[in-house]
Chain A
């Protein structure tokens, strides 16, 4: 597959002439089976293909995108890009093309997942639904197999492929929902019965919840919440462009986090998914964003690397525009404490399963508002004592992880699929935090 795609890349480049050009072709199968009210109601497969071309004529840059590979379509794609570039002013920030370099030999791939049939996904969903017994269920099972080829007129040629399977669902009691989820490079790793039983346990244990007065509480956050939290730090903070524009909180070399926090972007991590190069063809490399609480690094594309006198880290995102580079493979270093022991360490606080509809109020201070979902429980003297109804919070995510604020880091390193902002799947454990500002009940 990758050779075929590289051939198409060559056909595109052969039409470009003297201009600088880079072309990325993404091709594969993106399939998702959805269930609600305990039956499959939507079942989709997209034989996806996308050709992304960026050209530069003496620093005049334009992009064109298509999905057809016949000669006429490729002629149109290239003509569109070149015509647009000729009309552009010179881009003073144009960093030029990535030089030839080999990408890390990473292959997060499983043939069976990439070729999964609707019946394979339905089997997992059937197990999830059966596990729920008389409880209503909803969710999805997805399988993706994607091959990416990149070529540029500077001589860079790279290709890679990745697969990912996700099973994610809820069980519903009538007064509560509980969630269960799993993600892996291999569909075969996903056990519908096990994921379903987790959702059912959470749903049953959070039924008939009672209200809790808003206020500051200790929290134990599940990996799903932690991914949500880290998403805001990554997108708005550890991002060369945000730093360059003065919008980021990140100050390299400062102890902005608790010493128990070490955060990296690492596509080579054994639990990760993804390919070994970015949208500009730059090989991805591990970036230490936070080391023992000290802000240590940023992710860059070629533009922000040039602006800040750094090197691209291989985190360019096609079409990211004013957002800049983004981490696609965050890994929060695990601790040695099991999730149960994190709970045991709480004198009085809350266990939160999921966050919902989190939105940033100020990128610099990282104040975010959002709600809890799919199960919240009161913890007293190290034991879960009762479920509580959903709460709204308004909390600085930066302060929540600040020095002295992290009471424990879980050992439950988990791949959370469909991570925040759709830029990847991240690997994180649970966290026990000293304080979380709940500002209202979900009922007002």
Chain B
């Protein structure tokens, strides 16, 4: 496949690009869904194609095609350069790229059990058993599903990169919906988006979907008669690690994307409340807050060997002891911001999407407390977990998140279950109230397989190492 990418890059340079790269991507995706004890959907998708990126002046031109021949690859390169040149009528300053070591390399993630090789019948039996158990234990609608992606990429750049990577990702989830008189309640396991990683089928086996189905269904039904989360202007809030993954993703991960900070996403995804002049000095949270973006974490969903610009995966400090110190960046955004090198965070969603800044594994480093210690240390509070709704403003500052389930905490003990728990806050104020942080034994590499960004829309796979946390004085129970 390298020969197609090389032909495209040569053509783009010949057509006037001062830099070009091309990715041939062969991706297989398999998904199955079961509903109420029956397999309802099975889809297997295979796509292959080439995407070429050419830089002329201040803008990228990108052309992609599913036709993979030497001629079509050369045409794709020529087209990419022509598209970039067309941007010159509304041009800015020339875009530069930070330097990166040129490598020729291969990379693949560790997989104990190839998920594509597990018999379909066995995978179906797993989902059927889980949804039957959900139904038997009170779910009105019982769903379970898995997804597998098997992706091979070949990258060639005009600077000499020649890198192939094979990435296998998979994961699964189940959820139970219980219908009441005038409402529905849902419980998901292990989270609203399931659990995904750069791992093989062993990840799905470890989830033990069937073993958790009864509890999940019973909780969904119990929520129908649970009291509604009370409204408090300020209360201690303990958040489980799955919801914390969402909290990190939305209020930290997106906020530190350098393309947003530079205004490149202003009209759609939005900008950021962060100002580059404050990097290294701005207080993002309490001293307990340490966040990294680390694409080298084995098995995490945002891991890879090289990003789509050929920058080797490496850890980047984002928040250190509560101070904002780093961003998610690529070669162009890093150069514009005056950073010395790319953060290695540029990826595209398949051959037909322009690579852009995406989260890698953006997560909290663990602290010293266990969840039980947090509960025991709380006189009057609320515990929430499993994301249900998420909404945040275009600067990534004001958020309101809802969870599937909550519990009151009174005098250091977990009390009655509550439904429809929500909390709201302002990013740095909220993170500044962090006073207890889960320990390493509770550190979970959550995977989000559906992060939307860009125009045309791209779906990114991101990882979020996370632990339970306690926050002080949080507004909860916002109702409509």
Contacts and interface: CB of A to CB of B under 8 A. Distances in A.
Interface of A: 30, 32-49, 61-68, 76-77, 80-81, 84-85, 87-89, 91-93, 117-119, 122-123, 125-126, 129, 136, 138-140, 142, 168-170, 172, 177, 179, 245-247, 319, 321-322, 356-365, 367-371, 373, 390, 392, 394-396, 422, 437, 439-444
Contacts of A357: 391-394
A357 B268 CA distance: 11
A63 B41 CA distance: 8
Nearest to B35: A322
Nearest to A248: B184
Interface stretch (B151-159, B377-385, B423-431): B423-431
Nearest to A366: B480
Interface in B367-426: 388-394, 397-398, 400, 402, 420, 422, 424-426
Contacts of B66: 47-49, 67-68
A49 B119 CA distance: 29
A338 to B, nearest CB: 27
Contact of B83 (A35, A80, A118): A118
Contact of A77 (B46, B392, B402): B46
A442 B397 contact: yes
A420 B2 CA distance: 39
Nearest to A372: B393
Contact of B391 (A61, A322, A370): A370
Given A87-B121, A356-B394, A365 B183 contact: yes
Contacts of B267: 36, 138-140, 168-170, 179
A75 to B, nearest CB: 12
Given A32-B456, A66-B47, A122-B87, A42 B263 contact: no
Given A247-B179, A322-B143, 15 more contacts: A36-B263, A39-B87, A42-B59, A43-B61, A49-B66, A63-B43, A89-B128, A91-B40, A122-B86, A170-B267, A245-B141, A361-B389, A367-B480, A373-B393, A444-B398
A362 B184 contact: yes
B83 A64 contact: no
B93 to A, nearest CB: 8
B456 A46 contact: yes
Interface string B32-66: 01010011111111111100000000111111111
Interface in B342-357: 352-354, 356
**Chain A interface secondary structure, helix, strand, loop or mixed?**
strand
B398 A369 contact: no
A247 B478 contact: no
B366 interface: no
Contact of A138 (B58, B263, B422): B263
B120 A87 contact: yes
- Which bucket holds chain B's interface residue count? 35 or more
Contacts, number: 270
Given A48-B352, A87-B120, A394-B479, A119 B426 contact: no
B266 A84 contact: no
A361 B89 contact: no
B48 A39 contact: no
B401 to A, nearest CB: 9
A440 B233 CA distance: 12
Nearest to A126: B90
Contacts of A245: 140-141, 177, 179
A32 B44 contact: no
Contacts of A44: 61-64, 83, 353-354, 456
Nearest to A168: B267
Given A34-B455, A40-B91, A43-B86, A369 B480 contact: yes
A143 to B, nearest CB: 12
Contacts of A129: 90
A361 B422 contact: yes
A44 B87 CA distance: 11
Contacts of B422: 361, 369
B264 to A, nearest CB: 5
B11 to A, nearest CB: 15
B43 A64 contact: yes
A80 B44 contact: yes
17 contacts: A40-B59, A40-B87, A43-B61, A43-B83, A44-B61, A46-B456, A47-B63, A87-B121, A118-B86, A122-B89, A123-B89, A139-B267, A140-B267, A140-B455, A360-B389, A395-B480, A444-B426
B317 interface: no
B140 A246 contact: yes
B455 A32 contact: yes
Nearest to A118: B86
Contacts of B388: 361
Interface string B74-117: 00000100111011011110010000000000000000000000
B124 interface: yes
Contacts of B392: 357
